[in-house]
């Protein structure tokens, strides 16, 4: 039984609902995780997604900022949301897939939108960067993100850090740019190590191949210049490490009309 899972920072779900529908019709993932939905729960376009085949929805949103949602063709057993840094700012939601989805053993799925961190990589003068570092620290010590060896878990989302040298267009030039500073990379990799997480994309496309999932709106000719970063991730627990069958980054969606600056990332697992 295969599970196809996509993560995508959509940068306003209502503004780009037609793009999401276009992607769904082409890729048809079983589970779609969106970030930066910028939509309160009572205004989320549930009816549109149900018509597209996603009957099961776990949404955690707010007006104008942040927001995450898990959309599933498969029924889930439960859903939950966690608060980080004492801020109820809609940056996490999770579901459990189990018997109702036809699984012999459950899978817990976490969807995250980590703070971007602003422009200045100094927590002493930039409160947004300080928040980002604290958020990453809380993720590292969170018991829910430290699955035991037999537990089947997946963590996805816009983690807003490109941790490896080959996850950015120029390691040297981005060392002092937020999303690739040494302290951010160290903290994200510490979360991965503490939880025993396996980077699904890099398990299929290992270093030193460059991979990007984000291209700035500030670059008018983004495709030719190709100054990207890999900010969007899919991680699996060790119990699913040998179940990854394929991954794909849908770069072409960055060239669609009025696109998000992020593109969908998909993994296929044998579950």
For residue 59, what pLDDT is reported?
98
Q: Please report the pLDDT score of residue 26 as a whole number.
A: 96
**Positive or negative CA dihedral for 231, 237, 238, 239?**
negative
Could you read off the pLDDT of 88-112 as tens digits, one per residue? 999 999 999 999 999 999 999 999 9
pTM above 0.85, yes or no: yes
3-state secondary structure of 127: helix
DSSP 254: G
- In this structure, are strands 31-35 and 2-9 parallel, antiparallel, or unpaired? parallel
- The predicted pLDDT at position 219 comes to 85
What is the domain-level CATH number for residue 44? Answer: 3.60.10.10
Q: Which residues of the chain have pLDDT under 70?
A: none
Q: Which domain holds residue 177?
A: 2-270
| 182-195 helix and 127-141 helix, angle to the nearest 10 degrees | 20
Long-range contacts of 216-223 (CB under 8 A, 24+ apart): 216/261, 217/261, 222/254, 223/254, 223/255
Q: What is the pLDDT of residue 220?
A: 82
Determine the 3-state secondary structure of 73 from DSSP. coil
User: Three-class SS string for 104-116?
Assistant: CCCEEEEEEECCC
pLDDT in tens, 129-167: 999 999 999 999 999 999 998 999 999 999 999 999 999
Element (H, E) at 270: strand 265-270
CB count within 10 Å of CB 99 equals 11
Confidence at residue 85, expressed as pLDDT on a 0 to 100 scale: 97
Structural domains in the chain (count): 1
257-to-42, 139, 254, 262 alpha-carbon distances in Å:
27, 35, 8, 13
């Amino acid at each position: 039984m295969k599970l196809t899972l996509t993560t995508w920072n959509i940068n306003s779900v209502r503004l780009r609902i037609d793009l999401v529908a276009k992607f769904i019709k082409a890729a048809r993932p079983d589970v779609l995780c969106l970030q930066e939905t910028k939509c309160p729960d009572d205004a989320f376009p549930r009816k549109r997604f149900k018509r597209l085949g996603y009957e099961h929805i776990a949404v955690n949103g707010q007006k104008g900022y942040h927001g995450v949602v898990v959309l599933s063709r498969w029924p889930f057993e439960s859903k939950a949301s966690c608060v980080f840094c004492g801020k109820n700012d809609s940056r996490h939601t999770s579901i459990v897939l189990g018997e109702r989805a036809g699984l012999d053993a459950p899978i817990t799925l976490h969807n995250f939108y980590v703070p971007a961190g602003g422009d200045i990589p100094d927590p002493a003068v930039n409160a947004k960067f300080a928040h980002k570092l604290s958020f990453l620290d809380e993720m590292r010590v969170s018991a829910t993100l430290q699955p035991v060896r037999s537990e089947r878990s997946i963590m996805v989302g816009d983690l807003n850090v490109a941790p490896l040298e080959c996850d950015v267009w120029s390691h040297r030039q981005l060392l002092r740019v937020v999303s690739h500073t040494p302290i951010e990379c160290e903290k994200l990799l510490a979360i991965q190590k503490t939880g025993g997480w396996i980077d699904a994309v890099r398990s299929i496309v290992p270093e030193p191949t460059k991979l990007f999932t984000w291209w700035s709106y500030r670059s008018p000719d983004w495709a030719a210049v190709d100054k990207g970063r890999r900010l969007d991730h899919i991680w699996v627990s060790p119990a699913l490490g040998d179940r990854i069958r394929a991954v794909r980054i849908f770069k072409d969606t960055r060239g669609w009309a009025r696109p998000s600056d992020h593109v969908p990332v998909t993994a296929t697992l044998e579950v």
